[in-house]
């Protein structure tokens, strides 16, 4: 498992924010989450990232606690909140289990490794006093063209595994009556120019060379977007929610 503190560099955090600002992922997921919230709710967002949910949801609830381990992502979150004039967010920097967290009315867990860890997920659920919301994006088989690039650069196949059995097993074993809704969205990644796109792929694939190869490869596959380029991504996520009226 990748260490989020090291994985999310400043560049990656800025690119992620750039994607959030140009796609409909945020709006699509919040269209499902929003109606579940109450103005008096105190919400805990675990793995808050750049604040894709923390910031807009803070406008709907009393207070938000954003737990984020990456310094780079936490900084982007702070800037985003300031830009949106949101002041009712408390940012806790650290991994789940590293910092003390009080119970909250609502616990939101979006695309974090916790959902794959039965013990951690169990502990997180206990922090909710009213409702738990899970957001799990399904993998895109050739995300960032990795399925094409890995055999060429690394001489091996790119494999991406996702196993939701543990999540649903915990819910079913606990006799939790949960709701599930699939949400389709786009998560396009924009680039000002081809050079920025090359830098993006080098950063994500941890490459020192391959500039010329990537430039030719990406020029043929990225969509032109005004003076820049865009990597188009259509995906879907499962939004799972349930009331905290049980004892695990």
Q: pLDDT digits over 205-219, tens only? A: 999 999 999 999 999
User: What is residue 189's predicted lDDT score, i.e. its pLDDT?
Assistant: 97
Tokens encoding 77: 């979150």
Strand order in the sheet with 179-186: 89-93, 63-68, 42-46, 104-110, 128-137, 234-243, 179-186
Q: Is the pLDDT of residue 201 over 50?
A: yes
87 pLDDT tier (thresholds 50, 70, 90):
very high
Helix axes 10-22, 194-205, angle to 10 degrees: 120
Note the pLDDT tens digit of each residue in 131-153. Answer: 999 999 987 878 899 999 999 99
* Beta pairing partners, 108: 45, 133
State the chain's mean pLDDT as an integer: 92
Whether the pLDDT of residue 246 is over 80: the answer is no
pLDDT band at 248 (very low <50, low <70, confident <90, very high): very low
What digits encode the pLDDT tens for the residues 167-189?
788 788 877 889 999 999 999 99
- In 3-state terms, the chain is what percent helix, strand and coil (to 5)? 40, 25, 35
**pLDDT above 90 coverage of the chain, percent:** 75
Under 8 Å between Cβ of 113 and 48 = no
Task: Report the pLDDT value the prediction gives residue 122, as an integer from 0 to 100.
Answer: 83
Say if residue 247's pLDDT is above 60. no
d(CA 29, CA 52): 10
Mean per-residue pLDDT, 244-248: 53
State the Cα torsion 50-53-54-58 to the nearest 10°: 140
DSSP symbol at 96: B
Which residues, other chains included, contact 70 with Cβ-Cβ below 8 Å and sequence gap of 6+? 4, 5, 7, 8, 13, 49
pLDDT at 160: 73
Query: Would you state the structure tokens that stand for residue 80, as one six-digit string?
Result: 């985003």
Pair of tokens at residue 178? 């949960």
């Amino acid at each position: 498992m990748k260490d989020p503190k090291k994985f999310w560099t400043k560049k990656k955090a800025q690119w992620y924010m750039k994607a959030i600002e140009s796609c409909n992922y945020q709006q699509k997921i919040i269209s499902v989450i929003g109606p579940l919230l109450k103005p008096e709710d105190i919400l805990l967002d675990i793995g808050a990232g750049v604040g894709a949910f923390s910031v807009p949801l803070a406008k709907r609830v009393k207070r938000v606690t954003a737990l984020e381990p990456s310094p780079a992502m936490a900084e982007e979150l702070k800037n985003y909140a300031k830009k949106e004039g949101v002041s009712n967010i408390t940012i806790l920097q650290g991994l789940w289990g590293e910092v003390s967290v009080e119970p909250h009315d609502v616990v939101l867990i979006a695309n974090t490794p916790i959902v794959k860890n039965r013990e951690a997920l169990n502990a997180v659920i206990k922090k909710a006093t009213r409702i738990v919301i899970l957001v799990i994006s399904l993998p895109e088989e050739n995300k960032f063209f990795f399925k094409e690039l890995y055999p060429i650069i690394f001489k091996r196949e790119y494999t991406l595994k996702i196993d939701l059995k543990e999540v649903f097993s915990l819910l079913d074993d606990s006799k939790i009556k949960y709701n599930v809704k699939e949400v389709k969205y786009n998560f396009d990644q924009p680039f000002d120019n081809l050079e920025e796109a090359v830098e993006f792929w080098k950063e994500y694939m941890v490459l020192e060379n391959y500039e010329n190869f990537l430039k030719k490869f990406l020029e043929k596959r990225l969509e032109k977007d005004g003076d820049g380029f865009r990597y188009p991504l259509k995906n879907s996520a499962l939004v799972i929610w349930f009331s905290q009226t049980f004892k695990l």
